[in-house]
Amino acid sequence: MSKHETAPPTGPDPADVGLRFLGVAHEVRTAVDHHMAAAGLSLARTKLLRLLARRGALHQAELAEALGQAPRSVTQAVEALERLRLVTRTPDPVDRRRKTVTLTEQGQAALAAGEQAGTRILRRIFGALDARQLRRLEELLTHAAEATRQSDTR
């Protein structure tokens, strides 16, 4: 082998493992969303309500930015949540085009139910691993997250 040739890879191809990871992550996300929706609140709606619960009332533009979503998508989600009485929207006193979104008591209850359903399914899925496997998975995910932040993919 010349000095310009590379040795054939040993072990699994990182791209194949990455694709497998993406597939498993999608399956887990789908399972969590399904269980949360069965409890009355989808994963996407739970994220929005959780943000309001943590940060308090926000303008729709602030919600969109914090969620990394298009303002129109957030407006549609907020309108749906308002119809369900999980949030209220009030006009900004200075700029009436801006709407402030506030979590209602009913929204707080829905959020709690959705989070409980999500926690149950995640514990069921990852509870199949023993403590050593969970620690190792946590380490591997930490390394993958660090590699993601250091890459030029974003």
What confidence tens digit (pLDDT) does each residue in 18-72 have?
A: 999 999 999 999 999 999 999 889 999 999 999 999 999 999 999 999 999 999 9
pLDDT band at 152 (very low <50, low <70, confident <90, very high): low
The CA distance from 101 to 45, in Å, is: 13
Question: Is 90 exceeded by the pLDDT of residue 145?
Answer: yes
Which residue shows structure tokens 């709690």?
112
The better pLDDT of the pair 152, 120 is held by 120
72, with CB counted inside 10 A (0-12, 13-18, 19+), is exposed
Q: How far is CA 10 from CA 7, 13, 22, 137, 147, in A?
A: 9, 8, 22, 22, 21
Q: Determine the pLDDT at residue 143.
A: 95
Question: Is 60 exceeded by the pLDDT of residue 154?
Answer: no
pLDDT band at 4 (very low <50, low <70, confident <90, very high): low
Mean pLDDT of 72-77: 93
Q: Determine the pLDDT at residue 92.
A: 83
With beta carbons less than 8 A apart as the criterion, state whether 66 and 92 touch: no
pLDDT band at 9 (very low <50, low <70, confident <90, very high): low
What confidence tens digit (pLDDT) does each residue in 79-131 have?
A: 999 999 999 999 988 888 889 999 999 999 999 999 999 999 999 999 999 99
